[in-house]
Chains A and B, each alone.
Chain A
Amino acid sequence: MGRTLGKDLFKHRYLYLLLLPTVLFYVLFQYVPMYGVLLAFKEFKYHGGILSGPWVGMDNFKDLVAQSDFWRAFWNTLYISCGRLAFEFPIAIILALLINEVAREKMKKFYQTVYTFPHFISWVIISGIMFNFLGNAGVLNQIIASLGFHKVTFLTDPGLFRAIVFISNIWKEVGWSAIIYLAAIAGINPELYEAAYVDGAGRFQQLKSVTWPSIRGTAAIMLILAVGNAMNGGFDQIFNLYNPGVYSTGDIIDTYTYRSAFSDGLGFGVTTAVGLFKAVLNFSLLYLANFIVKRLGGEGLV
């Protein structure tokens, strides 16, 4: 057997050579650092690195669940992630379908570029723009005031924060997320549309019966990935937009961990415990979503 395998490897050596950098990348940057999760069960020692501290069992987790702020962050993460799935996820599909319906090729490219562009602006800049736009002396409040209404504290109102998070993220990312669907749509055999046209299908019926079934598989996989990412909630965005006034609805696990590790001195052990906790939940969610999609007759990831 060994000889056959060796032969096989040798025969495809260039293919394996091409694969090697990717494998190495994952090993070096994804698998090797995983030993760091041991810190969740250790007390961190500055000298000697992650492995040298004494084992503390589940103490870090006990410390963690005793923190009321942690549970607030946990539930906020869940709410915000569900909101992202409910509002942000479908909008990219709808946008892709709409762009696809634009008849003139040039206009199609124009819209796609315009919608994709905000993706390349960092949240630091966007938060500055939003502050100027939504602040007390911002454009929006000036309009509101000139119409005779009371100014709205958009950025410090816990009731509005999640809506602002969703809307700003849709503005920034919807074009980017739509690309994968546009690619899937581009791959649809034009004969299907021609056949549908001959059968008398209008544009809406074509969309319903040709386009959507063709990208449904892509959407399912994107959904599984999004669910697997649910406990992440979007650190960059929230960190740049939030303030103590909206912690009650906006503080997510990642921002809580960051503050705890670096500003409030909760310790690296406890904050690693948060990370591990989150990763385990993410993994279970991913598996669950995959299972459900498969049960519903779609194609899963594994």
Chain B
Amino acid sequence: MNRAKRIGLNSLLAAALIVVVSGCGNSNDAGNTANDGANNAPAADNGAGNSAAANTPAATDDPYKDHLDISLSWWGIGVGFQQHDELVQKIEKDFNVTLKPVDIGWDNYKEKNQVWSAAGQLPDIITNSIVNDNPATYNQWVSQGLVHALPEDLSAYPNLEKVAKAPDVQGVYRDGKLYAIPRMTYPNTDMWAVDRAIFVRKDWMDKLGLQDPKSFDEFDAMMKAFADKDPDGNGKNDTTGIAMNTLGYFKGVFMPTFPQFDNSSWLQEDGKWIPYYASKQMDQVMVQARQLYADGGLDPDFAVEKAGEANQKFYQGKAGALAFASNSVSGSAGVKAEWEKANPGKNFFDNVKILHLWPAADGTIYRHTTQSFWSETMINAEVDDAKMSRILSIYDWLLSPEAKEMFDYGIEGKDYTKDASGAITITRPKEGDAYVALNKEYPSFDIVSQLAAWRNASTLEDSAANRAALGDNVVEFIQNELKWQMDNAKPIPTAFDIFSMSTPAKDKLSTINFDEDFTRIVLGKDDPVKMLHDAQKGYDGKGLQAAITEVTAEMAKLGK
């Protein structure tokens, strides 16, 4: 090929490329304009949305006349909704909707939501937990119009309104509007006490002649003994002290040393409001955690295990203690059931107990507490008014007493009957001495029943439903623990206002991942206090001091 030809061919190919590229570019622009249009729409009709929502229930004809498709995301919803069981059918029929499940996983839901938000593919009903975990992201979503504000007048949805007016939900409002429906865990902050527990092998303690520890050093010695003194008597060095479900539960061990470390809250120190990881009290926590690890009292694999993986070590008699929650004892995948499965013929309550924490330096025994909600529902900004009011109706119903009765007892007429006086007779089949669990009967149960609010409070009640479902001994175990905590312990002094407080510098603190540094320091070989101080210096580079100044100023405005 001669030179001229070659140049000609090249330019032709280049021209072809440009045509293709610009073709794609154009279609992209078209996509953008379409997006912009969709973006403007919800912003423009926000006001109209309010009145429409308020009017709908008052309208004479059926408010659910038009059939709607609603997509919603939830952890593991793909499997849960696969059977399209009667619970899902009931909601779909009552509200004339089709629910389209969108799967998210516990390991990746935040990533998935971020990706979908960037790609414009968020479902109508979004399950997320950024309000407290990543306030910066929440603010971005709000300011960039990704999510719908709830109508200011929620009087048509009385159950929802109650949530919106709860005291510690006020921090979720932005410019007077609520952009998320917080998923309430408990009606108050006291019941969180059962969300931390150290399960311990009573039989191992007896065998080694150990008493309940009265200080961290005694606890450390006990865990070390579990690791070194062959508590299972198999002649092998194959046991460890404490394993953890996740790091969050393990933090409970340090409640007496530094209460606010347990619930990752802010505290006042030297006249300033600071996050727990900037506190002087962290020094001692780091020293103790390192000591526990170096002594072999802490599961050496804790940093590489995935959530829940280490529980097996406790069930299978390879760990003497498990950091988890006392309400996690119940259920078919709960601590009791799993432990008894791995130890056939042995009774859980004869061999395992909850180890209560020792008092702090000031003599107080602390118990876990935090905000009364965890995670939230958000509604896609592209949802129109009709769909918005339908979603709010569904959520209002999910929070109603009728829905609670369904979640407690199942479907009326099938799983239970109610006589004129309101007395309930459970009619669903039994499995052994307990009734078949509702989540076994209805695969969607754990999803539908917890869409709007967690079921934690209900599962803690001493009710006929729970005694039937969980067994008397489990209900009593949890009740006793709750009572012990209320009688003996005080909630961690917690600055609830700061959790969802948003200031420019505080929002940027989400780039600090103290859990990772904590793990690194525990595993490290250098002096833990020095490593901690180095990490704290690094946080200053991420705007820690500015955040402290801003939050202290905000708190001063609140008179705190």
Residue positions of A touching B, CB distance < 8 A: 1-2, 4-5, 8-9, 23-24, 27-28, 31-32, 35, 44-49, 51-52, 66-68, 131, 135-137, 142, 145, 151, 153, 155-157, 243-245, 247-248, 259-266, 268
Contact = CB atoms under 8 A, between A and B. Distances in A.
Nearest to A260: B511
Contact of B24 (A32, A44, A155, A247): A32
B538 interface: yes
A257 to B, nearest CB: 13
A180 to B, nearest CB: 29
A31 B21 contact: yes
Given A1-B4, A135-B301, A244 B118 contact: no
Contact of A263 (B5, B21, B110, B520): B110
19 contacts: A8-B1, A9-B12, A27-B20, A28-B24, A46-B140, A47-B146, A48-B39, A49-B31, A51-B28, A67-B542, A135-B304, A137-B301, A137-B313, A153-B300, A244-B303, A245-B303, A245-B519, A259-B513, A268-B118
B145 A32 contact: no
Nearest to A35: B25
Looking at chain B's contact residues, the main secondary structure is helix
Contacts of B36: 47-48, 52
Contacts of B111: 262-263
Contact of B8 (A1, A47, A51): A1
A27 B520 contact: no
Given A31-B21, A32-B21, A244 B140 contact: no
Interface string B4-37: 1100110011001100110011001101100110
B136 interface: yes
Nearest to B240: A136
Given A28-B24, A47-B36, A245 B520 contact: yes
B538 A45 contact: no
Contact of A48 (B35, B117, B300, B520): B35
Contacts of A46: 117-118, 120, 140-141, 144-146
B517 interface: yes
Given A31-B17, A245-B303, A248-B520, A66 B318 contact: no
A3 to B, nearest CB: 10
Interface of B: 1, 4-5, 8-9, 12-13, 16-17, 20-21, 24-25, 28-29, 31-32, 35-36, 38-39, 110-111, 114-115, 117-118, 120, 134, 136-137, 140-141, 144-146, 237-238, 240, 299-301, 303-304, 313, 318, 510-513, 515-517, 519-520, 523-524, 538, 541-542
B303 A2 contact: no
Contact of B541 (A52, A68, A151, A265): A68
Contacts of B134: 265
Contacts of A247: 516, 520
B28 A49 contact: yes
A4 B12 CA distance: 13
A187 to B, nearest CB: 28
B110 A262 contact: yes
A43 B536 CA distance: 29
Which of A35, A49, A248 has the most chain B CB atoms closer than 10 A to its own CB? A49
B307 to A, nearest CB: 13
A45 B240 CA distance: 49
Contacts of B520: 244-245, 247-248
A35 B510 CA distance: 29
A271 B336 CA distance: 45
Contacts of B145: 46-47
Nearest to B33: A48
Contact of B523 (A49, A135, A153): A153
Contacts of A153: 300, 523
Given A1-B8, A145-B237, A136 B144 contact: no
Max chain B Cβ within 10 angstroms of own Cβ: one of A151, A248, A263: A263
Contact of B144 (A24, A47, A268): A47
A161 B98 CA distance: 50
Give 5 closest A-B pairs by Cβ, nearest first: A244-B516, A245-B523, A262-B111, A244-B519, A136-B300
B149 to A, nearest CB: 16
B328 to A, nearest CB: 23
A49 to B, nearest CB: 5
A263 B517 CA distance: 15
Nearest to A134: B304
Contacts of B240: 136
B513 A131 contact: no
A265 to B, nearest CB: 4
Contacts of A135: 301, 304
Contacts of B300: 136, 151, 153, 156
Contacts of A24: 20
Contacts of B17: 23, 27, 31
B118 A44 contact: yes
Nearest to B135: A265
A262 to B, nearest CB: 4
B511 to A, nearest CB: 5
Given A47-B144, A156-B523, A244-B303, 17 more contacts: A1-B8, A32-B21, A32-B25, A35-B25, A46-B141, A46-B146, A48-B39, A49-B28, A131-B301, A156-B303, A157-B523, A245-B303, A245-B519, A245-B520, A245-B524, A262-B114, A262-B115
